[in-house]
Amino acid sequence: MEAPPGGVDDMTRLSYLHEPGVLQNLATRYELNEIYTYTGSILIAVNPFQRLPHLYDTHMMEQYKGADFGELSPHVFAIADVAYREMINEGKNNSILVSGESGAGKTETTKMLMRYLAHLGGRSGVEGRTVEQQVLEAKSSP
């Protein structure tokens, strides 16, 4: 299967999973402001180098809350939702690894993961403090 004009949202669906095909698919999706792409259960994020608040607002969080993996477009919230549900419903320990080169957007991605997990846990902002501030305070508490 040749990649459709807009690319594929899961690269395991590419006919030829080789470097040129992967790069072309990521470039095609990036040009369409689709910064997230799956490779199976792995999420690849391409730093847009701009703020995209509509991708991370409360409405978007609610869309991904409880959605089946792959039902919606690839997103960091989908990855966080699967990990959270497995932890809560099945008692499974989970980790989410955020990896990339300097400037790749790891810090921003981690902030979005924390915001989403706090949203699911009902702690999206307590007493005017950001989730990041709450985590840092919890880590430094005796």
CATH for 106: 3.40.850.10
CA 48 and chain centroid, separation: 14
Q: What's the pLDDT score for residue 34?
A: 96
In a domain, 40, yes or no: no
The whole domain housing 5 covers: 1-34
21 annotated to bind ligand? no
Q: Is 53 in the same domain as 23?
A: no
CA pair distance 49, 51, nearest whole angstrom: 7
Q: Is 29 in the same domain as 52?
A: no
Q: Is 86 in the same domain as 28?
A: no
103 annotated to bind ligand? yes
Q: What's the pLDDT score for residue 138?
A: 55
Q: Is 53 in the same domain as 6?
A: no
Q: What's the pLDDT score for residue 102?
A: 92
Q: Is 78 in the same domain as 116?
A: yes
Q: Is 16 in the same domain as 81?
A: no
104 annotated to bind ligand? yes
Q: Is 74 in the same domain as 28?
A: no
Q: Is 114 in the same domain as 86?
A: yes
CA pair distance 95, 84, nearest whole angstrom: 10
Q: What's the pLDDT score for residue 92?
A: 86
Q: What does each of the 142 residues of the chain score in pLDDT, given as a tens digit? A: 556 788 999 999 998 889 999 999 999 999 999 999 999 999 999 999 888 999 999 999 999 999 999 999 999 999 999 999 999 999 989 999 999 999 899 999 999 999 999 999 886 555 556 666 666 565 555 5
102 annotated to bind ligand? yes
